[in-house]
Chain A
Amino acid sequence: MFLTRKAEFSASHVCANPDWTPERNHAVYGPNANPNGHGHNYVLEVTIEGEPDPITGMVFDLRELKEILNDEVVEPMDHRFLNKEVSPFDRLVPTTENVAIEIWRRLAARIGRDGVKLRNVRLYETGDLFVDYGGAS
C-alpha cells in the first residue's frame, strides 16, 4: 500500500553554475539564472510503501512522518535562500531535480525500516512543473 504525505515550503534560489559565464548560464537556465534569486512555493509529496501494521492499522505513524518532514525539509528550507543557507546547494545547483534528490537523501534513512520504504519524492516547483524521484536506479 502507498501512503502519501504533503508538505509545503517557500524558498528562493538561483540556478547558475559558478564555473560558467553569465551568458552560458542564461542560455541554459533562462531567468532562473538571474543573480539575485527568485522564489517558489514548493509542494512536496512524499510516498511511502508498506503494509498496515496489524496492531495499529497504519503503514507509518503520520505524526512521526510530519516530524521527519519538518526536521529534514520544512524547518531547514522554508523561507530560506537555498544557495546560501541550505547545504549542499552552496556547491550544487538547486534545480528542481537536485532539490528532489537531496530531499530523498535526507528522508530515505529516517523512513526506511522493516517492511517500510520511501517510494517516491514528488516536488512541485510550480503547479506546472514537477519532478518525481524514486532513488538511484
Chain B
Amino acid sequence: MKLTRRYRFSASHRLDTLALTADQNRKLYGKCNNPYGHGHDYVLDVTVEGSPDESGQIVSREALDALVAERILARFDHHNLNTDIPELTGVVPTTESLAVTIEQALSRSWPLPARLDRVRISETERNIFELEAK
C-alpha cells in the first residue's frame, strides 16, 4: 500500500551551462536562460510504501512532514537553487536535477519504517517529473 503526501515550495533558478556559449544557452533554454533568473511554485509529492501498523497508518503524517520540512522545505523554500543549494553547485537546476537532489536528500539515512517509493515534482502544472527511489 502506498501513501502520497503533497508539499509546496517556491524557489528561483536560471538554466545555463558553462559547456555552451551564451548564444547556445539562449537558444537551448530560451526564457529560462534570462540572466537574472525567475521562479516557480514547485509541488512535491512524496510517496511511501508499506503496510499499516497497529495505528492503521503506514506512516506517521507528523514524522513524514517533519522529515520533508527539515530536509527539503527548510532548505529549498524561498531560496535560489543556483546559489543556495550546495548539491546543485555547478549543476544546471532543471527540475530533473532537482528531482535527483530531493530523492537523494530524502533517501539518505531514511528514518521511517515505510519505504520511500518515489518523488514527483511539478515545476508548473504542465511540467511534471517523477523519480523512483533507489
Interface residues, chain A, with chain B CB atoms under 8 Å away: 15, 17, 28-30, 92-98, 100-101, 127-134
Please name the residue on chain B nearest to A30 by beta carbon. Answer: B62
Task: Give chain B's interface residues, CB within 8 Å of chain A.
Answer: 1-7, 52, 54-58, 60-62
The answer for the CA separation of A93 and B62 in the assembled complex, in Å, is: 17
Which of A17, A130, A132, A134 is close to B55, meaning CB atoms less than 8 Å apart? A17
A60 to B111: give the CA distance in the assembly, Å: 42
Contacts of A28 in B (CB 8 A): 55, 57, 60
Q: Are B56 and A93 in contact (CB under 8 A)?
A: yes
- A-B contacts counted at CB < 8 A amount to 52
- Closest A-chain residue to B57, C-beta based? A95
Which residue on chain A has the smallest CB distance to residue B62?
A: A30
Determine the distance from Cα of A95 to Cα of B58 in the docked complex, in whole angstroms.
10
Is A129 a contact partner of B56 (Cβ separation < 8 A)? no
- Expressed in whole angstroms, the Cα–Cα distance for A96 and B52 within the complex equals 10
Is the CB–CB distance between A133 and B60 below 8 Å? Answer: no
Which residue of chain A has the shortest Cβ distance to B3 in the bound complex?
A131
Distance in angstroms between the alpha carbons of A101 and B52 in the assembled complex: 10
Chain A residue at minimal CB-CB distance from B59: A97
Q: Which residues of A contact B4 (CB under 8 A)?
A: 129-132
* A123–chain B nearest beta-carbon distance, Å: 10
List 6 contacting pairs A-B, 8 Å CB cutoff, sorted by A. Answer: A15-B56, A17-B54, A92-B56, A131-B1, A132-B1, A133-B2
Collect the chain A residues with CB atoms within 8 Å of residue B52's CB: 95, 97-98, 101
Q: Is the CB of A93 within 8 A of B55?
A: yes
Question: A129–B3 contact, CB under 8 A?
Answer: yes
CB-CB under 8 A from A15, the residues of chain B are 56
Nearest CB in chain B to that of A17: its residue? B55
Are B56's CB and A131's CB within 8 A? no
